[in-house]
Amino acid sequence: MKLKLCGLRRHEDIEMINEVMPDCVGFIFAPTRRYVSPTSVRELCRGLAAGIKKVGVFVNSPIGMLVATSKISGVDAVQLHGDETAEYIRALRKRFDGEIWKAVRVRKPEDIKKAEQLPVDMLLYDSFVPGEYGGTGKEINLGAIIAAGPKKPFYLAGGINAGNLDEILSIVQPYGIDISSGFEVDGYKSKDKLGEIMNKLKGRYR
């Protein structure tokens, strides 16, 4: 199983990430409290260990802005976390050479079945909160995932932390998990919380 740690903003975050070596890290380019500028990401990634994939998270961004931000920041992949359509994705594919991921806020099994038709490299299933596009800490609707019976590999997000990790992974078997709020204390990444998660992942991770 793969691991993506998301919402990094500080050099301290990069230092703790290098100690655990996840497969991917995420940087938020959407206007939320976890936003980080593309130039800051470029600077942060100078200290990131080699081999960790850098994913830029966008919400309903104009394609030109997304491409420019990706170039400045140096991310390897983009994660579309808004209402982007198949047409948007095909247009983006012509201008961006990296991987394209699509996050889907799951309410019902049909959301997953529709998502699997999108022309993307990876899917990510997250919890649904009206008016929010992710990073809420709310647990995802696992029942909808089970009912849908996903045919394609996916990352699972949505309120994952050390306290519920065992239960979640006993119910569904994702290709990878994406954690952000699950290793935060008072809005900042916590080395202790991350350590708890990594202990839970022993024997599962990779």
Residue range 17-59, pLDDT digits in tens: 999 999 999 999 999 999 999 999 999 999 999 999 999 999 9
pLDDT the model gives residue 164: 94
Residue 114 pLDDT class (50, 70, 90 cuts): very high
List the beta strands (DSSP E) in 75-191.
Answer: 77-80, 99-106, 122-127, 154-156, 176-179, 184-185, 188-189
Q: How far apart are CA 23 and CA 25, in angstroms?
A: 7
Mean pLDDT, rounded, for 65-80: 98
| Count of structural domains within the chain | 1
In a domain, 205, yes or no: no
Residue 141 pLDDT class (50, 70, 90 cuts): confident
**pTM for this one?**
0.93
Mean pLDDT, rounded, for 62-79: 98
Contact in structure between 8 and 182 (CB atoms under 8 Å): no
Give residue 17's domain range. 2-200
Residue 130 pLDDT class (50, 70, 90 cuts): very low
What percent of the chain is modeled with pLDDT above 90?
89
**Angle, alpha carbons 117-120-121 (nearest 5°):** 125
What's 110-137 look like in SS3?
HHHHHHCCCCCCEEEEEECCCCCCCCCC
- Inform me whether the pLDDT recorded for 113 exceeds 80: yes
Q: What is the CATH number of the domain that holds 159?
A: 3.20.20.70
Top pLDDT among 140 and 143 is at: 143
In a domain, 206, yes or no: no
Contact in structure between 52 and 21 (CB atoms under 8 Å): yes
In a domain, 124, yes or no: yes
- Inform me whether the pLDDT recorded for 160 exceeds 70: yes
- Inform me whether the pLDDT recorded for 147 exceeds 70: yes
Residue 202 pLDDT class (50, 70, 90 cuts): confident
In a domain, 170, yes or no: yes
Residue 159 pLDDT class (50, 70, 90 cuts): confident
